[in-house]
């Protein structure tokens, strides 16, 4: 772990590589759906740079490429020094043509070329397979991703929302064929979605030192405090995107879960208030306390949210065993509540290994 003394930003290695990424990062999925979001994208990137954030994530599927275009335009307008930023994009689908999607060599190579044009960059630092493709031979995908690195279009490659078994098979194929191995996964991870990272990926962390660039650390906004009463405020994200976010809402607020969710959220609000931070900042600091998390991807709809969220770093620096246990008691969803992994396998499931540094 490295800390920028001027900005207080924390940097971590991305998986088993020498690439350092800021512990908090910017993703522009939220700002990808309209030209009117350009100013928010540009101004957020400008402020992120000032705060020491160096990792910027996008994807070809975000509004069919417009997110990449907006991000590339912002970098150009801000005259960002290319060496100062770590840029990632994700390939999986961009159009309706039969080869405009999934993980064939054809789509990965053509998709990468088109992404670079939209980003106005010669290369990205990391390219992800945005979702698994069980129809394309995994060896073909591995060869294509390794080719993108050999051709100078990316420095590293990773996976997103893959199973641990699929990632392990990809690593084994790359080792057998002497190809560039994937180094990082981009999973959803938050206080209310823990199993994938803390349970399924344990072997990836212990054996491969696999990295993670997590998304939805606030569970689509559920953990911000706006929904602690179990209702959807008018004009909120869940009000504006009712159909798209319906499943996420029901996963927490269906009739059989609503009472438990409200109790949990209000318990988190109390802890945050006692500490002098917001519920969002508590939720983000909790993610940062897991040392298997390389970076926490944030999205912003308002510029002031950048500074609000960055304060999570302050709380992370104060994280203790006592606070960890207090939060876990409120959450009540520890994937292995009957085991303390730190006692016998410190490299597997390091929820509070951050405490070693304080």
Give catalytic residue positions.
Answer: 62
Nearest to 84 by CA among 41, 55, 44: 55
Contact 65, 114 (CB under 8 A): yes
* C-alpha atoms less than 13 angstroms from C-alpha of 133 in its C-beta half-sphere: 22
The span from the first CA to the last CA of the chain, in angstroms, equals 11
Residue 178 DSSP one-character state: T
* Calpha distance 56→30 (Å, rounded): 13
Please provide residue 126's backbone torsions phi and psi, each rounded to the nearest 5 degrees.
-140, 135
Please provide residue 312's backbone torsions phi and psi, each rounded to the nearest 5 degrees.
-60, -25
Contact 59, 67 (CB under 8 A): yes
Q: Which helix (H) or strand (E) holds 11?
A: strand 10-13
Q: CA angle, corner 348, sides to 166 and 320, nearest 5?
A: 135
Cα maximum dimension of the chain: 55
* Calpha distance 316→305 (Å, rounded): 18
Nearest to 289 by CA among 333, 319, 330: 319
- Three-state SS at 330: helix
Nearest to 182 by CA among 218, 211, 207, 223: 211
Q: Quick one: CA dihedral 323, 329, 330, 334, positive or negative?
A: positive
Tokens of 293: 């998390």
* Calpha distance 304→34 (Å, rounded): 20
Checking phi first, is residue 15 left (phi over 0); if not, alpha (psi -120 to 50) or beta?
A: left
* C-alpha atoms less than 13 angstroms from C-alpha of 65 in its C-beta half-sphere: 16
């Amino acid at each position: 772990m490295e800390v920028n003394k001027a900005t207080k930003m924390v940097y971590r290695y991305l998986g088993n590589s020498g690439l350092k990424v800021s512990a908090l990062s910017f993703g522009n999925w939220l700002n990808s759906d309209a030209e009117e979001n350009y100013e928010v994208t540009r101004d957020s990137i400008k402020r992120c740079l000032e705060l020491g954030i160096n990792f910027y994530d996008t994807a070809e599927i975000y509004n069919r490429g417009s997110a990449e275009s907006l991000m590339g335009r912002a970098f150009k307008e801000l005259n960002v020094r290319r060496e100062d930023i770590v840029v990632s994009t994700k390939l999986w689908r961009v159009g309706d043509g039969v080869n405009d999607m999934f993980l064939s060599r054809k789509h990965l190579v053509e998709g990468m070329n088109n992404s670079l044009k939209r980003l106005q960059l010669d290369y990205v630092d990391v390219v992800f397979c945005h979702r698994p493709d069980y129809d394309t031979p995994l060896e073909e995908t591995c060869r294509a991703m390794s080719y993108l690195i050999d051709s100078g279009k990316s420095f590293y490659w990773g996976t997103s929302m893959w199973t641990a078994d699929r990632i392990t098979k990809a690593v084994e194929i790359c080792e057998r064929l002497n190809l560039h191995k994937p180094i990082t996964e981009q999973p959803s991870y938050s206080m209310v979605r823990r199993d994938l990272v803390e349970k399924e990926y344990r072997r990836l962390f212990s054996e491969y030192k696999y990295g993670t660039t997590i998304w939805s650390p606030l569970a689509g906004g559920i953990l911000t405090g706006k929904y602690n009463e179990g209702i959807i405020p008018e004009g909120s994200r869940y009000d504006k995107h009712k159909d798209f976010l319906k499943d996420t809402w029901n996963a927490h607020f269906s009739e059989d879960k609503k009472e438990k969710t409200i109790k949990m959220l209000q318990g988190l609000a109390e802890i945050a208030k006692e500490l002098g931070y917001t519920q969002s900042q508590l939720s983000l600091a909790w993610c940062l306390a897991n040392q298997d998390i390389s970076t926490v991807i944030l999205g912003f709809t308002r510029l002031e949210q950048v500074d609000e969220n960055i304060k999570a770093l302050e709380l992370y620096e104060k994280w203790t065993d006592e606070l960890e246990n207090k939060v876990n008691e409120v959450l009540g969803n520890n994937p292995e509540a009957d085991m303390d992994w730190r006692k016998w396998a410190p490299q597997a499931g390091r929820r509070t290994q951050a405490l070693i540094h304080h």
